[in-house]
Amino acid sequence: MSYDIQKIRADFPILRRQINGKPLIYFDNGATTQKPQQVIDCISNYYLHQNSNVHRGVHTLSQEATDLFEGAREYVRQFINAEETNEIIFTRGTTESINLLATALKPWIVKGDEILVTAMEHHSNFVPWQQLCEKRGARLKIVPINRNGELDLEFLEKMMNPYTKLLALTHVSNVLGTINPVKKIIKIAKDKGIPVLLDGAQAIAHTKVDVQDLGCDFYAFSGHKAYAPMGIGVLYGKFNWMRRLPPYQFGGEMIDEVTFEKSTFNELPFKYEAGTPNVEGALALETALRYINETGIDAIRQHEDKLLAHAETKLSAIEGVRIIGTAKQKTAALSFVVEGIHPYDVGMLLDKMGVAVRTGHHCAQPLIDFLGLPGTVRASFAMYNTKEEVDLFADALVKVVSMLK
């Protein structure tokens, strides 16, 4: 089947908006994606017909909501090919998923241990490990990147030693678009007995994720990067790890038995899901992932790769524009700078022309500092963007450059 871009665009109501009198060109998908009508309808339908608290309710609405909620968990398991449904923990997003893990791993980290992260990490996969190391007397070691935005695997392997307790790295860089060779990296780490966490926030909507094939111990992602609402995310954790780790938060739902003297905790995954969960978010996440599957993740990847290649060609022809991140394997994120012009000014003027991009350090300040930049402009693409939008974006950028030079 051909890729029916107009049919896809018709499913996203916000794309019919105008910004400053211009048709919206939404190139800020790395920050959050827009939502198809099916996801919006799912949320409304839940509150219209099934709204109830889940688990342990004896009445019909609670049982229906519970079945739907646990059905969503099973669908997530299938989507990332986890081995067991209880390895899927619902969170508020990638940030909470990583903080959950960093808190749960605290007893396993002692003075002199080391945690490896890369120079291209989002703050969400950097600061939690930095703070954990400070509290436990461990060392946070940074795997450098080259000027193309790629990791040196030989250097990475040399950094691993008997003190290395965890490797935490991004699957796809939110700034550079680099797709890290995570399967190779995980094998290197596993051969040395080192567990691996992947930050999949920028990968989940753009490339196939199979956690069993990758071999990672933990995988975190956010729904809102994959056409689902904000406030829902997932931490995948291998059963043999998660059953040993302590709870992250305490309260209702995550307990087994509570007395005045002590408490015991629920089985997986519930011991990590304290309090009333984001039921409608989980259902909408399932709907969004179904939408991705129905469209075809491979077809989406091919479409976005074409957009990226076209955008790189167009921007490379504009005098003064320099693309940041030229890895051989990239996904649909394009960062750039314009010589002599601050990224903020570029972004503000593009907005006047109806083009939404992101500017700044993109919550990856150590990376931006490493690159010696004040920030970048980032255009990030999704399944609903078009070649014509890229052309209009490039034309708008030419006007911006001429205005600010």
For the segment 328-340, what is each residue's pLDDT rounded down to a tens digit? Answer: 999 999 999 999 9
For the segment 49-103, what is each residue's pLDDT rounded down to a tens digit? Answer: 999 999 988 999 999 999 999 999 999 999 999 999 999 999 999 999 999 999 9
Q: Cα 134 from chain centroid?
A: 26
Share of the chain above pLDDT 70, in %: 100
Tokens describing residue 387: 């070649």
Burial class (CB in 10 A: 0-12, 13-18, 19+), 55: middle
Whether pLDDT at 265 is above 90: no
Burial class (CB in 10 A: 0-12, 13-18, 19+), 127: middle
For the segment 227-257, what is each residue's pLDDT rounded down to a tens digit? Answer: 999 999 999 999 999 999 999 889 888 887 8
Which domains, from first to last, does the chain contain?
A: 5-30+296-404 (3.90.1150.10), 40-293 (3.40.640.10)
Tokens describing residue 285: 């996440």
* Cα–Cα dist 314/146, whole Å: 25
**pLDDT at site 259:** 85
Supply the residues annotated as catalytic: 363
- Cβ(144)–Cβ(154) under 8 Å? no
* Cα–Cα dist 215/182, whole Å: 9
Q: How confident is the model at residue 176 (pLDDT cuts 50, 70, 90)?
A: very high
Element (H, E) at 140: strand 139-143
Whether pLDDT at 1 is above 60: no
pTM exceeds 0.85, yes or no: yes
Pairing of strands 355-356, 333-338: unpaired
pLDDT-wise least confident of 148-152, 258-262, 322-326:
258-262
Q: Scanning the structure block, which residue is given the tokens 């995980």?
A: 186
